[in-house]
Amino acid sequence: MLVMQLLRGAVKHAGSSPQFSVERLNSAVRGISSSSQHLSDFGETLPPSCTDTESPKILITGGLGQLGVGLAKLLRRRFGKNNVILSDIRKPPNHVYHNGPFIFSDILDYKNLREIVVNNNISWLIHYSAVLSAVGENNVALAKEVNITGLHNILDIATEHGLRVFVPSTIGAFGPSSPRDPTPELCVQRPRTIYGVSKVHAELMGEYYHHRYGLDFRCLRYPGIISANSNPGGGTTDYAVQIFHAAVKTGCFECNLRSDTLLPMMYIDDCLRATLEFMEAPADTLLSRTYNISAMSFTPHDLVQEMQKVLPGLKVTYNVDPARQAIADSWPMVLEDSAARRDWGWKQDCDLSALVQNMLTHITTCNQRAQAN
């Protein structure tokens, strides 16, 4: 009787998931008699997640983007070098390749992704693969494929194998009808970019899988992230990274947003630490599955003034990109993040002054090393 119920559940699931295949159905049927871990697709008991007393085995998708390399470094210090696998579809720089395990992983290739999870005994999955806001508006088809179809693969595999899965969201998940100053955690979300739409979809799908299947889904709405270690990836807040490189290299910068555009921002060290702390938080302390996190909000004018305290000769002009400005004008000016501070103790370390000092010091030092070599 149980076998027939499971088979009916498998057929029902196959009809509702575009990624379900005959191979997956056969695999599920073969596992009925041998392992309860194959029952997750049918709404039964999930495999146990990694406990707090053992080191997780972690896979990071989209690992060569702005955040993946830095997070891998932090996680390897915490859990051991070989317990964190960085992955992407691009060839990594030599220093990334030699700093720890790296593998090719295409999130649109369900079978390959599933094999990686099984063969490496993955227990945490950090899903950074995404097409960002400005790039997504220029290639909607690609953004839909990567941000939505790829997400579905991640959620299905994470559910099947009982993973703890992290999917970042963004201030772009809000829209012009959302309150902007401050933007609360729960409010109207009607974004006007495919990036924002895909992130609202990710939030809702992840929370659905949590309530329907018990998936340990976790999501943080990141503000604009500022890092000196990687190139901007096509986001609307990229000006706040580009300006530092231009300031050190030429002393001049042309900003594509208005000088009074107020947006939430965060230094990368705070972002990575927040992600680790959130992933380590006991599940029973989390009253939500999606949280706002914030550190500071500033305008281009605010940033320039702070930078000119260190580089008084810095010259900045404004040539507003209407498309990016429209995106920025639909986003929060200030994120309200009291729930994260209450539930799992979030607190930022870096303010605007420290951000400027850190960025300028890091970029200047890297440039001097490059010139010396």
Catalytic residues: 195
Torsion of CA 79, 296, 231, 193, to 10 degrees: 110
Q: Name the residue among 167, 191, 143 with its Cα closest to residue 331.
A: 191
Q: Name the residue among 325, 291, 344, 351 with its Cα closest to residue 171.
A: 291
SS3 call for 226: strand
Residues 6+ apart with CB under 8 A from 281: 343, 344
List helix spans (H) across 80-177. Answer: 94-98, 110-119, 133-138, 140-144, 150-160
* Tokens read off for 202: 């990710």
What is the DSSP code (8-state) at residue 147? I
User: 80: how many CB neighbours lie within 10 A of its CB?
Assistant: 12
Q: Are 171 and 146 in contact (CB under 8 A)?
A: no
Is the peptide bond between 182 and the residue preceding it cis, with omega within 30 degrees of 0? Answer: yes
Residue 264 half-sphere exposure toward CB, CA atoms < 13 A? 26
Residue 253 half-sphere exposure toward CB, CA atoms < 13 A? 27
| Amino acid (one-letter) located at 70 | G
* Tokens read off for 176: 């012009």
Q: Residue 204 to residues 152, 168, 221: CA-CA distances in angstroms?
A: 12, 12, 13
What is the DSSP code (8-state) at residue 167? -
User: 31: how many CB neighbours lie within 10 A of its CB?
Assistant: 14
What is the DSSP code (8-state) at residue 309? T
Residues 6+ apart with CB under 8 A from 15: none
